[in-house]
Chain A
Amino acid sequence: MRYGDKVAVDALDLTVERNTITAVLGPNGAGKTTTLETCEGYRRPHAGSVRVLGMDPIRQRSALIPRIGVMLQGQGAWSGARALEMLTHIAKLHANPLDVDMLADRIGLHDCGRTPYRRLSGGQQQRLGLAMAVVGRPEVVFVDEPTAGMDPLARRSTWELLGELRDDGVTVVLTTHYMDEAERLADRIHIIDQGRMIASGTPLELTRGGTATIRLVVTKPFPEGAPENLQRALGDQVEVRPISEISLLITGPADHTTLATVAAWCETQGVLPESLNLGQRNLEDVFLEITGRELES
């Protein structure tokens, strides 16, 4: 899949199992939306093939579209249409839609049901977008950044709703650049970066590996060669990776020896730790390990 000369998504091999929540995780510009829109039949792949429910999203579009639900990233409604009016309209295009009032209650749209779309907050527009995606009782829903712009409460209730969809037999495919969202919600996570899949698995599989991490942030930039010094002091069992000029990620057994070595190293380098976090590796560390960059900047 390319735009002009830029290859947006390349050699992405990805299969989604029915009745699961699959997260496509990656930084902005990784090719998440392009991947989703290719599944939704908005874009024609330049090479390779896409099948959704066994169908070609472009050639069998009219058969496929009624069976899927789509939440676009922003917009997608008449600016003068009221929230519930818009949802009701989309419901009327389907054969067996959900009860609009019930859905509006569940998604928290009732307090703004008579508000024109252009005056809804970003979070309310997101919720309406999600409601429009599920109102037709689809088998598969594609949701693009479902919680972007939502407050924490709305985020949590969106997660609950997506979980309930899965439990009721809907297949959910979502994109996100929030690793906590993917980690909490997804049965399976595909991490993509610059249009390529870089890791894939259940949240447990991805974060497993037994390795603990130490994140060290210091108050002023390290002297030159300092990270290499630390690596030498810690030995082969432990990996030291500079993240920025004031922070390091140390992966390996976070035992007393390691900690003491790190503390002694701080003293000899003349730097003062601002924070020192110990923990299992999370998806952010996985991303960092593979790409050498932070997921969220």
Chain B
Amino acid sequence: MTGTFTPAPGSAPLAKQVAAQARMEARLMIRNGEQLLLAVVIPVIVLIGGVVGANHVGFDFDQSAIDTFTPGVLALAVMSTAFTSLAIATGFERRYGVIKRLGASPLPRAGLLAGKVGALLLVEVLQVIVIGAVALTMGWSPELSPAALAATAAAILLGTAAFASLGLFVAGVLRAEATLAAANLIYLLLMAGGAVVLPVSEYGGAKVVLDHLPSGALGEAMRNALIHGEFSGGYLAVLAIWAAVGTILTARTFKWE
């Protein structure tokens, strides 16, 4: 019996499934206007505004304004994608039954998670290219030694892990609309007061707290990497601890439907 619909069931190889899932999610993220605003437009505005403002007001950094701001804006971009975009997208996936539907497909839960991480990294690569290009035209001269690049990659990966686990936690415990509001609010608060874009040293007495927030830790790790070419073990450890806390919270509370 060989008709059109004759059964021939089976799963695609897991790596193929994960790649398909990552590409699909990245495509949807980039296509979505609000998410693109968060991912690229706001960081670029912050970069240009920050540099122009700093030169105008006469901020006194150890480095030029563009060299100080760019690593922080890249950190902001990572935060927007790994935390805000991921939380909002996952919240609505739960609401619209996408995760339920994928639960009836061969893609296992671990594959879905891997696909999400892959999508985040794809979008982050695009963000680094766009923001880096804008910064370079504004005279950015980053430290590009192998150590600096390795330290940058470590900061981005650990920062992504920390913020993504926290984003999934928010998406898992709140309804879709509440996730949307909370993820944007937290993003705004951390952007303004979380030492992402501005160095921790600019915040005076709040330094102790900010040093231990994922936002401050990611910002500082990026600045140390791209300005001085240095690994910042302490800040990377803070990010790793946040990633562990976020993962435990998510594992305890997240419901796929």
Our verdict on whether A and B bind, yes or no, reads yes
* Contact in complex: A93, B97 (CB < 8 Å): no
* Contact in complex: B92, A168 (CB < 8 Å): no
**Which residues between 88 and 140 of chain A lie within 8 Å of chain B, taking CB atoms?**
89-90, 92-96, 98, 102, 106, 132, 134, 136-139
Check B8 for interface membership: any CB of A closer than 8 A: yes
Check B204 for interface membership: any CB of A closer than 8 A: no
Check A259 for interface membership: any CB of B closer than 8 A: no
* Contact in complex: A137, B20 (CB < 8 Å): no
* Contact in complex: A79, B96 (CB < 8 Å): yes
- With A139-B7, A168-B4: A76-B28 Cβ-Cβ less than 8 Å: no
Q: How large is the interface on B (under 10, 10 to 19, 20 to 34, 35 or more residues)?
A: 20 to 34
Check A286 for interface membership: any CB of B closer than 8 A: no
Q: A123 to chain B: closest CB distance in Å?
A: 18
* Contact in complex: B5, A93 (CB < 8 Å): no
* Contact in complex: B8, A96 (CB < 8 Å): yes
Contact check: which of A79, A85, A138 meets B7 at CB < 8 Å? Answer: A138
- With A76-B96, A76-B98: A94-B104 Cβ-Cβ less than 8 Å: no
* Contact in complex: B12, A165 (CB < 8 Å): no
Check B209 for interface membership: any CB of A closer than 8 A: no
* Contact in complex: B28, A81 (CB < 8 Å): yes
Set of chain B residues within 8 Å of A74, measured between Cβ atoms: 97
Set of chain B residues within 8 Å of A168, measured between Cβ atoms: 1, 3-7
- With A66-B106, A81-B28, A93-B107: A137-B101 Cβ-Cβ less than 8 Å: no
- With A72-B101, A168-B4: A92-B17 Cβ-Cβ less than 8 Å: yes
Contact check: which of A40, A66, A75, A167 meets B9 at CB < 8 Å? Answer: A66
Indicate with 1 or 0, residue by residue over B7-32, a CB within 8 angstroms of chain A CB atoms.
11111100011001100100010011
* Contact in complex: A94, B20 (CB < 8 Å): no
Check A164 for interface membership: any CB of B closer than 8 A: yes
* Contact in complex: A72, B11 (CB < 8 Å): no
Contact check: which of A75, A90, A96 meets B105 at CB < 8 Å? Answer: A90
Contact check: which of B12, B28, B104 meets A65 at CB < 8 Å? Answer: B104
Number of residue pairs spanning A and B whose beta carbons lie under 8 angstroms apart:
115
- With A42-B100, A70-B104: A137-B7 Cβ-Cβ less than 8 Å: yes
**Which residues between 8 and 65 of chain B lie within 8 Å of chain A, taking CB atoms?**
8-12, 16-17, 20-21, 24, 28, 31-32
How many angstroms between the C-alpha atoms of A90 and B107 in the bound complex?
Answer: 9
Set of chain A residues within 8 Å of B9, measured between Cβ atoms: 66-68, 94-96, 136-139
How many angstroms between the C-alpha atoms of A165 and B92 in the bound complex?
Answer: 33
Check B143 for interface membership: any CB of A closer than 8 A: no
How many angstroms between the C-alpha atoms of A226 and B28 in the bound complex?
Answer: 66
Q: B115 to chain A: closest CB distance in Å?
A: 10
Check B233 for interface membership: any CB of A closer than 8 A: no
Contact check: which of B12, B93, B96 meets A93 at CB < 8 Å? Answer: B12
How many angstroms between the C-alpha atoms of A165 and B11 in the bound complex?
Answer: 20
Set of chain A residues within 8 Å of B100, measured between Cβ atoms: 42, 72, 76
* Contact in complex: B6, A92 (CB < 8 Å): no
Residue of A nearest to B25 (CB): A78
How many angstroms between the C-alpha atoms of A75 and B17 in the bound complex?
Answer: 22
Contact check: which of B1, B101, B106 meets A76 at CB < 8 Å? Answer: B101
How many angstroms between the C-alpha atoms of A96 and B5 in the bound complex?
Answer: 11
* Contact in complex: A92, B16 (CB < 8 Å): yes
Q: B118 to chain A: closest CB distance in Å?
A: 14
Contact check: which of B10, B17, B20, B96 meets A96 at CB < 8 Å? Answer: B10
Check B234 for interface membership: any CB of A closer than 8 A: no
How many angstroms between the C-alpha atoms of A78 and B21 in the bound complex?
Answer: 12
* Contact in complex: A80, B28 (CB < 8 Å): yes
Check A262 for interface membership: any CB of B closer than 8 A: no
Check A62 for interface membership: any CB of B closer than 8 A: yes
How many angstroms between the C-alpha atoms of A211 and B106 in the bound complex?
Answer: 49
Check A77 for interface membership: any CB of B closer than 8 A: yes
Set of chain B residues within 8 Å of A106, measured between Cβ atoms: 4
Check A169 for interface membership: any CB of B closer than 8 A: yes
Check A249 for interface membership: any CB of B closer than 8 A: no
| Residue ranges of A at the interface with B (Cβ–Cβ < 8 Å) | 40, 42, 62, 65-70, 72, 74-81, 85, 89-90, 92-96, 98, 102, 106, 132, 134, 136-139, 164-165, 167-170
Q: For the A-B complex with A90-B105, A94-B105 known, give 15 more contacts whose Cβ atoms are closer than 8 Å.
A: A65-B105, A78-B28, A78-B93, A81-B24, A85-B24, A92-B12, A92-B17, A95-B8, A95-B12, A106-B4, A137-B8, A168-B4, A168-B5, A169-B1, A169-B5
**Could you show 18 A-B contacts with beta carbons less than 8 Å apart?**
A40-B104, A42-B257, A67-B7, A70-B104, A72-B101, A77-B96, A92-B16, A93-B21, A93-B106, A95-B8, A95-B11, A102-B4, A137-B5, A137-B9, A138-B7, A139-B9, A164-B4, A169-B1
